[in-house]
Amino acid sequence: MKLLERPDGVRIIRIDRPEEALLFRANFVGAYQTVWSEPPYSERFYPSEAAGRLRSNLSTNDHITLLAVRGVSQVVGFGFGVPLASRSQAAKSLRGLVPIEHTYYLAELGVLPAWRGKGIGRQLIDLRLQLIERRRFNHVVLRTSAHKNFSYDMYLNLDFADMGVYQEVESRRTDGSVQTDRRLFLCRVLDPATLPDPESE
């Protein structure tokens, strides 16, 4: 389902079911590998692992899966979201700090280098925030590199707050080594849903 069409020809679409992703899967894999291979993460993902991330998000109840696409199937960006309770490691790190069952997790965000600085990342964030079911979720969290950079500042400008909570993440690097790096959690309280006025019905 198309959510947004930009003047530069990039469309942001929502994918709900695995079969809807088939057209974009190969290009998503390439984009995912490229995005995470760069600093500060410098991670190496095999094609099967990147495809598995897409498949995992699509198989999670109440997921939000957005792709920024150009032409027929070129993927230039992506943004995923799932209920925090479905991500056990993140939920474990945040237990007692946010209401786990009522918190949504913005799990993945990436834009290819050639398309950065054009507002695509910001639109992927804004659209995911709009799509979160406010009657069920009143908090949203995300995880970013502990090396504060443009992304960190962008999230603060979007009313996310630094929770001061870190998580050590072990991953395979582009040089073949396995190393641990530190990620930082940010949180935002969501505006409640506007419930219909019973008197007006």
pLDDT digits (tens, 9 = 90+) for 160-187: 999 999 999 999 999 999 999 999 999 9
Model confidence pTM above 0.85: yes
Specify the residue for token string 């960190």: 152
Mean pLDDT of the residues in the chain: 93
Class of the 2-193 domain? alpha beta
Distance from C-alpha of 172 to C-alpha of 45, rounded to nearest angstrom: 8
At residue 200, the 3 state secondary structure works out as helix
Taking only the tens place, the pLDDT of each residue in 14-62 is 999 999 999 999 999 999 999 999 998 999 999 999 999 999 999 999 9
Distance from C-alpha of 14 to C-alpha of 113, rounded to nearest angstrom: 22
By the 10 Å C-beta count (0-12 exposed, 13-18 middle, 19+ buried), 67 is classed as buried
